[in-house]
Structure 1
Amino acid sequence: MTDNPPQPGQGDDNPFKGTPFEQLFGAGGGLPAGMPDLASLMGQVQRLMQPYEGPINWDYAIDMARKSAAQQPDPSPTQAQKDAVADAVRLADHWLDTATDFSSGVTQATAWSRAEWIVGTTEVWKKLVEPIATSAVESLGQALPEEARALAGPLIGMLGKATGAMVATQVGSGLGTLAGEVWGVTDVGLPLSTPGQAALVPANIRAFGEGLDVTDDDVLLYVALREAAHHRLFANVPWLSEHLLAAVTDYARGIEINTSDMEEKLRGMDMTNPMAMQEAFEGGLFDLSDSPKQRAALERLEVTLALVEGWVDQVVGQATAERMPAAAKLQEAVRRRRAAGGPAEQAFASLVGLELRPRRLREASTLWGSLQTRQGTEARDGVWMHPDLLPTAADLDDPLGFREGAEATGDLSEEEFDAGLRDLLDGPRGDAPEDRPQE
């Protein structure tokens, strides 16, 4: 008998044997044999980051994003620019009245600097990003055997904070990049501001129009049309925002940590070197593999976002057909930007972890246009009455065949469809002058 019983991590009694944490609690990794000093290890990591609440260090992320945006001139919009945006959105809403029966969704329109865009969209980004970070930490803990979780409690907490710091770095970088490219608050297909608030970024809109041989006024009006159309759709289809956010949450719930890759990286990590740990966290220590649940949520999200973008594309095209000769050129420029996976798509992938497929914008626009031609505006917009009525991925494969030879009511009776359509088109607000965008 020995006076000192074996410690966890020694011999065959290591409860972490066969898990990604075996290297942390064994004799490797540059540490002495036995259980490492978790307090010391925690102190090393805490020196890399400031204390924060929640799954992500948002103060750090926003500060990093603003510093990134400040690398190029970012003056606050002038009163003249704010007035120009408000006038453009007001005219856009007037034109959209002829293209859809949905009432205006804009109650305020203004111009933002890039820094203002970052601050003004943070609350919605929290809803999109935090479920991913939270699920990653939970999945990390579940990767351990039950008998090891109690011993690893402090370590899981430490790794959770490290994950939050890593995600904050990605968020800050992504938001900073995105702020330098976006036109407004609907570029990712979701309204990123408070309901009814349209906000455009004049500096980025001006950069988008360079080389297109289109006047600045036409570029601003076209972007305002897209912004106002997005707000109109989300204001009149109350379930749509939550439907998209739920798909992101469902994606997060399906997160599975790639424990084999983690084990390989931990095996070669010097746990006494804080910089090596930071590089591992930032370099993808917690690689995520798609589960069947994630793939299903991802497809639902991709299809719905494509339908949103396609509807906006078709409605704006209809509204500008006889009013703006330059609209066709601007429409094609937007489609090319989306199909190439522009900054909005790339940043969304970086921030939320979802690789979207914006190439389906053309198919979705064709589908909505074909339905409008065959069955009219009310039937086209009535599809938004309920998520079960929305086209599927298979429908986007054959956009001209969507409901070909079928009634727009689907499984609903004619009376049910008419009642639901009437409620949908009545909208959450009236079309009174006071509901039009103000400065």
Structure 2
Amino acid sequence: MESNEPTVSSNPQRPQLVNWDFAAGSAARLAPAGPTMTPREIAAAVDDLRAQADASVAHVHAISRLDAARDLRDSELLIVDRASWAKANTQSFRVLVEPALNHLAQSKPEILKAASVSLGGNLTGAQLGAILAFLSSKVLGQYDPFVPSRNGAGGRLMLVAPNIISVERELNVDPSDFRLWVCLHEQTHRVQFAAAPWLKDHMTSAISELTTGMMDKADTLSERLAAAAKSLGMPKGEHPGRRSAAVEQWPDGGKVHGTGLLSVLQDPDDKARLSHLTAVMSLLEGHANVVMDGVDARIVPTVKTIRRRFNARGKSRGPVEKLIRQLLGLDAKMRQYSDGAKFVRRVVDQTGMEGFNLVWEAEANLPTEREIHTPDEWIDRMSLTRHG
């Protein structure tokens, strides 16, 4: 498997709240073993994954009609194992979190120091490693725009070979067809950031603002946790993280019902930042799913079988995995796929792919979270003409 070793800078004088190397090492140790394969089988699978990834680009271009798909040389394609995927994500988290930690070190050094002493970099590293170890056996692929590739300013597209092979065996589907189908989704993310070169900096800034805003209020965390516990009706002394709260978002075009912790722990500015990031992620995931589902049997001969078996796969998860997925927010991410895809399909149906592709031209064209659920409002805001 392939790896990448980017340089990620930090302030060596600042108390280290997370031991990133320890997180990567913990994830590598805890990650479940992949499928049993001989060296020859591994080499053949890697070659085929790379071939399917290359083949998918032309199909992404034909379906998305984004000219950026013609030239992806500034980003990088990596075929990785579970440990390498986990290590790459510690690098991404570090890039995204370091600015907020540096800000906290300057604005409230006593809080950062106290947190570092009480938690310890190894403890937080171990916790992050455990999470990444679980996820490392679930993720089929990922485009990481935040850590530059060896080819330039673009990011890294990672295909997690053990997971793709495990799922194709579990579903008993044609390996090459399944690999091409997966690559269509993942290559679409690569094309999105190539089509909108401003998107990486926009997302980095938005994430930094959210994390910095939350850390600015770190000294009131205990009070806000107490308020969360009270709002959830918990007995005194029970930690809110031990109880789940169902939140049904946007059932009536804009209201949020339920008692989600985020609605209690964040001020209005934090909520607005999170709402914007949720909308962007829903757009990216939904668009990738629409492209993925835009193929027919002429491109992926067994696509109907793959879709049916893959969609049914989630129903067989055990109770422990379901609980972990809920705690990590993975079910919410799956709703992003669905909500975003509905937005994309509605806009394309009403305005054509050319109308939808206005979304990649400027930050102002990104949909709001409300517009994701009411796409006609985005169409009207963009002054697009509806078909028919």
Same fold per superposition (TM over 0.5): yes
Matches within 5 A, 1:29-428: 54-69=16-31, 78-102=42-66, 103-104=68-69, 106-107=72-73, 108-130=76-98, 141=108, 153=110, 157-163=113-119, 165=121, 166-186=123-143, 194=149, 195=154, 197-255=156-214, 256-257=217-218, 258-260=221-223, 289-320=265-296, 322-328=298-304, 330-331=306-307, 356-399=332-375, 402-403=378-379, 407-408=383-384
Quick one: distance in 2 between partners of 1:261 and 1:117?
34
Structure 1 pair 354–328 and aligned structure 2 pair: CA distance change class (3 A) = closer
Higher relative contact order (CA 8 A, sep 6+): 1
Q: 1:262 to 1:185 in 2, by over 3 A?
A: closer
Partner of 1:43: none
Change (3 A) 1:335 1:379: farther
| Structure 2 CA distance for partners of 1:327 and 1:130, relative to 1, 3 Å | farther
Aligned residues: 324
Question: Quick check: 1:96–1:229 contact (8 Å CA) kept in 2?
Answer: yes
Structure 1 stretch 379-388 or stretch 322-331: which is displaced more?
A: 322-331
The verdict on how the C-alpha distance between 1:325 and 1:95 changes in structure 2, with shifts beyond 3 A counting, is same
What is the alpha-carbon distance in structure 2 between the residues aligned to residue 53 and residue 405 of structure 1? 46
Q: CA deviation at 1:85?
A: 1.2
Distance 2:308 2:96 in 1: 29
Q: Secondary structure at the match of 1:90?
A: helix
Bigger-Rg structure (1/2): 1
Q: Say if 1:245 and 1:333 are closer, same or farther in 2 by CA, change over 3 A.
A: farther
> How far apart, in 1, do the equivalents of 2:376 and 2:311 lie?
19
CA spacing shift, 1:183–1:294, aligned 2, 3 Å? same
Task: Quote the offset at 1:67 in angstroms.
Answer: 0.9
* 8 Å contact kept, 2:96–2:207: yes
- Separation in structure 1 between the aligned mates of residue 346 and residue 273 of structure 2, nearest angstrom: 27
- The alpha carbon displacement at 1:58 in A equals 1.2
Q: Which has the higher helix share?
A: 2
Structure 1 consecutive aligned stretches of length 4 or more whose deviation exceeds 6 Å: 73-77, 135-139, 332-340, 345-349
Structure 1 position 206, deviation (Å) = 1.9
Measured against aligned partners, the alpha-carbon deviations of 1:199-249 in whole angstroms (never above 9, x if no partner) come to 312210122234434212211111111111110111221121222222222
Offset, 1:79: 2.6
Q: Is the 8 A contact 2:141 2:158 kept in 1?
A: yes
Unmatched tracts of structure 1, length 5 or more: 1-50, 143-152, 264-279, 410-439
**CA pair 406-191 structure 1, distance change in 2 beyond 3 A:** closer
For the residue of structure 2 that corresponds to 1:376, the secondary structure is: helix
SS of match in other structure, 2:48? helix
Between the aligned residues of both structures, percent identity stands at 21
Distance 1:74 1:385 in 2: 45
**CA distance in 1: counterparts of 2:360 and 2:314, whole angstroms:** 23
CA contact (8 A) 2:15 2:116 kept: no
Q: Which deviates further from its counterpart, 331-340 or 61-70?
A: 331-340
SS at match of 1:238: coil
Partner residue, 1:435: none
- The verdict on how the C-alpha distance between 1:217 and 1:58 changes in structure 2, with shifts beyond 3 A counting, is same
Q: SS of 2:201's equivalent?
A: helix
TM-score, structure 1 length as denominator?
A: 0.61
Superposed CA RMSD: 4.3
